[in-house]
């Protein structure tokens, strides 16, 4: 990861006030789901259906589609229509700066506010152009690996070709708390709060609990409205795939966590600051 540029960089991210209470639930595309609607990657019309159900039946506060929607699919038109209908949707991107073809021409505000400028560099996993245009909020999910191959932190701000990009948890927290994100002399601030970070502007995850503190539900059960409304009303819901293709990540010799738990935990921690 490129070192953050040593200049004062501050920009207000336009946001909608959602409230301060942090309530998270994780929605897994699990084996039970695959047995009902097919193996992962599932058809994207199911994402459109669950987004509608979460918004209109369960009244979810925020929905995070933590799935890489990088390649176009036949069902994209239906999903894009659903994305444009609701303003509380977020998705992820993961970009690298290892190839000469990576050319970034956007700033911190652009990525957080629905910009196609992500496609100015051609590497990593980013939403396809139609998805990028539809989603209002896109954040990075780059992790930091140690020499021992442990995930030691999550980058809160990523620097690519001298431009800055907010992480998905930082973007959500800034919107929930109605606070600006700024970088001053290599320090990241959420409003006036200086964030205590590790190397490469990463948020430490060594204190993440071994057992996830967040309730989990099967994607298919929510899709079929089998979960009680009270369990998801006003919640931030993270949609994630959990299966053999997504093994847990090592945080230390004795601790593991999956990607959804890490992203959700960092988001929750930032909101509670």
Report, in angstroms and rounded to the nearest whole number, the Rg of the chain calculated over CA atoms: 18
Backbone angles phi, psi at 55, to 5 degrees: -80, -50
| In the predicted structure, residue 1 carries a pLDDT above the cut 60 | no
Helix H or strand E segment including 190:
strand 187-190
Q: Which strands sit side by side in the sheet containing 202-204, from one edge to the other? A: 143-145, 151-155, 202-204
pLDDT at 202: 87
Kindly report which listed range (206-210, 217-221, 267-271) carries the lowest average pLDDT score. 206-210
Residue 11 pLDDT level (bands cut at 50, 70, 90): very low
Asked whether the predicted pLDDT for residue 172 surpasses 80, the reply is yes
| Predicted confidence band of residue 3 (pLDDT cuts 50, 70, 90) | very low
> pLDDT digits over 98-153, tens only?
544 444 433 334 444 434 444 454 456 778 888 888 988 988 888 887 777 888 89
Q: Is the pLDDT of residue 170 over 70?
A: yes
Reported as a pLDDT band with limits 50, 70 and 90, residue 28 is very high
Average pLDDT over residues 244-265: 86
More confident residue, 73 or 9: 73
Strand-pair partners of 211: none
Task: Give residue 165's pLDDT.
Answer: 80
Q: Which of 56-65, 137-146, 242-251 has the lowest mean pLDDT?
A: 242-251
Is residue 222 over pLDDT 80? yes
Spell out the SS3 assignment of 97-137. Answer: CCCCCCCCCCCHHHHHCCCHHHHHCCCCECCCHHHHHHCCE
**What 3-state DSSP class applies to 25?**
strand
Q: What is the mean pLDDT of residues 45-50?
A: 98
Higher pLDDT: 74 or 100? It is 74
The pTM (predicted TM-score) of the whole model is: 0.84
Q: What is the pLDDT of residue 53?
A: 98
Q: Does position 9 have pLDDT exceeding 90, yes or no? A: no
């Amino acid at each position: 990861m490129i070192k953050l540029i040593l200049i004062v960089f501050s920009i207000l991210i336009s946001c909608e006030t959602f409230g301060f209470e942090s309530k998270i639930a994780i929605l897994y595309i699990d084996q039970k789901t695959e047995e009902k609607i097919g193996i992962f990657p599932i058809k994207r019309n199911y994402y459109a259906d669950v987004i509608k159900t979460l918004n209109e039946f369960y009244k979810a506060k925020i929905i995070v589609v933590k799935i890489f929607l990088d390649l176009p699919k036949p069902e994209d038109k239906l999903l894009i229509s659903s994305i444009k209908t609701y303003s509380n949707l977020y998705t992820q991107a993961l970009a690298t700066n290892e190839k000469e073809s990576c050319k970034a021409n956007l700033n911190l505000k652009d990525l957080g506010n629905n910009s196609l400028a992500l496609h100015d560099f051609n590497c990593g996993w980013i939403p396809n152009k139609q998805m990028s245009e539809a989603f209002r909020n896109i954040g990075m999910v780059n992790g930091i690996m140690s020499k021992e191959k442990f995930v030691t932190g999550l980058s809160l701000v990523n620097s690519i070709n001298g431009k800055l990009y907010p992480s998905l948890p930082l973007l959500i927290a800034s919107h929930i708390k109605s606070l600006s994100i700024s970088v001053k002399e290599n320090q990241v601030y959420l409003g006036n709060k200086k964030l205590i970070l590790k190397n490469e502007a990463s948020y430490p995850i060594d204190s993440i609990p071994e057992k996830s503190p967040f309730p989990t539900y099967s994607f298919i059960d929510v899709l079929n409205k089998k979960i009680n409304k009270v369990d998801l009303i006003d919640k931030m819901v993270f949609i994630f795939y959990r299966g053999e293709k997504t093994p847990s990540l090592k945080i230390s010799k004795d601790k593991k966590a999956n990607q959804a738990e890490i992203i959700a935990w960092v988001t929750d921690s930032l909101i509670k600051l």
